[in-house]
Amino acid sequence: MIRIENFTFAYPGTGKPALEDVSFEAAKGELLLVRGASGSGKSTLLYAINGLVPHIFNGESSGTIQVNGFSPGERPIGEISKTVGTVLQNVESQIFMMRVEDDVAFGCENLRMPREEILLRREEALKAMDLWEMRERETFKLSGGQKQRLTISAIYAMGPKIFLFDEPTTDLDQGGRKEFFNILKRLKSEGKVVLLAEHQYEEYLPLVDRVVTLDRGRTVPSVQALRDCPEPVYGVGNLGDIVISCKGLCVGYEKGEPVLKHVDLEVRKGEFVALCGKNGSGKTTLLKSLAGILRPSAGCLNVLEKANPDLESLMGHVGFLFQNPDEQLFADCVEEEVAFGPRHLGKEVDIEKYLRISGLYEARGSHPQALSRGQRQLLAVTSILAMEPDILLLDEPTTGLDDTHWRRLLSLLHQSVAEGKTVVFTTHNGKAAGRASRSVHLEEGRIVSDEIRQ
C-alpha cells in the first residue's frame, strides 16, 4: 500500500536533503517502526506520505512515492486524508473543538459520514483510548497526555487505511501506552498499514514487522531491538535551604473542583526532583503553581522566600519550560533564541558555551522551526538554562528526544544541580525519573509517595 523508490527531498535554502535516496515498501497489515536520531528525517518522511510534502512544505524532490495506488503530490490533502491518517508531534494543532466527544467526531463530520456511523465510531474510539468517562470535558482542560490520546482517538474514528504516528506516546503514562499498544494491535488485525516514528519504542517491538532506520536522511541497515546501558542514579549531595514550600496547597481552574488537593511539599536548594504520575494527576498544575502561573485557591506556597508569588515576581529567578516547545520559540535563529532571555534580564552569559554543550552550535544560524521536534525541545530547554535561574521547572523536558539527546539534556540538568540550582521536572519516562535524586508521585491531585534516593 506504500511504495517509496529512491525518494529525495530538500527544504528550500537548506543546502542539503532532508531525505536522500529512501526506498522501502509497506504492505497491508504491516507495522513499520521508523527510528533515528532527532533531525534524521523521520517527520519529513511521514509528511511525504501524507501529502504535507509538497503541498504545505515545498522543496525539490526526486524519486517516487505511491500510496494506495496514487502519488500524494498529485492529490489534494483533503482527499489524501480519506486514506492516510496522521497523529502529529504537536497534538494541540489537531484539536479543534471545545468538548472531547465533539473533537473525536470532527474528522468524521468533515468526511460527511452518516450521523449514525459517526456516533458509533466516536464511541468506539473514545472507549479504545480510555476517554469515554471524560467525553463531555472541555478539551483545553485536558492534560498533555490526555490531549495526545484524544488526537489518536479522532484519527482512529476516521478509519483510514494507513496510519502515521509521529512520536504519539511521548506524553502518555504507562496506562496510556498500554492502550496505544492495543490500538496498534487492533490496526494490524484490521489490515491497516502503520508507520510509527518513535524514540521510545522497545515495548512495541513485538508488533513491529520491519524497522526503517534513518541517519541524516538516508536509510541504513537496522536491527529489531537495542539494549540500553544501565542508567546512573544521581544521589543526594549537599543540600541547601528550603527554596519551595507548599502547605495544604489547593489549586484549580475556574470554579471547578481543585486539581491539587492539600499538597504538602518542601524542596531544597540543589535537589533534582521528578514529579511522576498518570495523565491528569496534577503534575503540570503543581509545576505551574510553583512558577506563579497559577495562584492557590487555598493553602500556602512559598518560592524563594516569596509568599504566594505571581509570575512577574519570579522572573529571572525561576525558569519554566512548557510541554510544547513551540509555545516559547519565537526568534529568527537558534543563537538569537538562546541569547534573548539573558539579554532582556541584563545578564552577561556565554551563549556559545550553551550552544556547544547542548549540541546546537552547528545549527546556531538556523531558524528554530527548521529544526526537528527533538532539537526544538532541546533548544527550548537551553534557552531556559542560559538565563541561569535559581530554580528550573520543566514540564516533560525529554519529550521528542532520542536517547543521545535526552542523556545530554539530563546531564545538563545534573550539572545545573551540581552548581547549586534546583530542578523540578515532570515525566512519564521511567529512565529519566530514575536519574533524579528524588521522585514525588501524584494521584488525583495528592502526593501519595515521596522517595529520596541515597
Q: Which of 434, 452, 382, 89 is nearest to 228 (CA)?
A: 434
Q: Which CATH class is domain 2-220?
A: alpha beta
Residues 6+ apart with CB under 8 A from 284: 143, 144, 323, 395, 426
Confidence at residue 237, expressed as pLDDT on a 0 to 100 scale: 56
Superfamily of domain 242-452: P-loop containing nucleotide triphosphate hydrolases (3.40.50.300)
Distance CA 290, CA 144 (A): 18
Does the pTM surpass 0.75? The reply is no
Sheet holding 438-443, edge to edge: 318-321, 391-395, 422-426, 272-277, 438-443, 446-452
Confidence at residue 225, expressed as pLDDT on a 0 to 100 scale: 34
Confidence at residue 232, expressed as pLDDT on a 0 to 100 scale: 44
Confidence at residue 412, expressed as pLDDT on a 0 to 100 scale: 83
State the CB neighbour count (10 A cutoff) for residue 141. Answer: 16
Give start and end residues of each alpha helix (H) in 242-314.
Answer: 283-290, 311-314
Confidence at residue 419, expressed as pLDDT on a 0 to 100 scale: 86
Confidence at residue 222, expressed as pLDDT on a 0 to 100 scale: 53
Is-contact 286 260, C-beta < 8 A? Answer: yes
Is 242-452 in the same CATH topology as 2-220?
A: yes
Q: Longest Cα pair distance anywhere in the chain, in angstroms?
A: 66
Residues 6+ apart with CB under 8 A from 22: 4, 6, 7, 8, 41, 45, 63, 214, 217, 218, 219
DSSP track, 151-209: HHHHHHHH--SEEEEESTTTT--HHHHHHHHHHHHHHHHTT-EEEEE-SS-GGGGGG-S
Residue 152 Cα to chain centre, angstroms: 14
- Which three three-digit cell numbers place residue 305? 522566600
Angle at Cα 377 formed by Cα 371 and Cα 380, nearest 5°?
Answer: 100
- Asked if the peptide bond before residue 54 counts as cis, ω within 30 degrees of 0, the response is yes
Digit-by-digit pLDDT tens for the chain (454 residues) are 999 999 999 998 887 899 999 999 999 999 999 999 888 999 999 999 999 999 999 999 999 999 999 999 999 998 999 899 999 877 888 999 999 999 999 999 998 999 999 999 999 999 988 899 999 999 988 877 788 889 989 999 998 999 999 988 776 777 778 878 888 888 999 899 999 998 878 888 889 999 999 999 999 875 433 533 334 445 455 789 999 999 999 998 876 789 999 999 999 999 999 999 988 899 999 999 999 999 999 999 999 999 999 999 999 999 999 988 888 999 999 999 999 999 999 999 999 999 988 889 999 999 998 888 778 888 999 999 999 999 999 998 887 777 777 777 887 888 889 888 999 999 987 878 888 999 999 999 999 999 987 6
Ordered by start, the domain boundaries in the chain are 2-220, 242-452
Is-contact 169 162, C-beta < 8 A? Answer: no
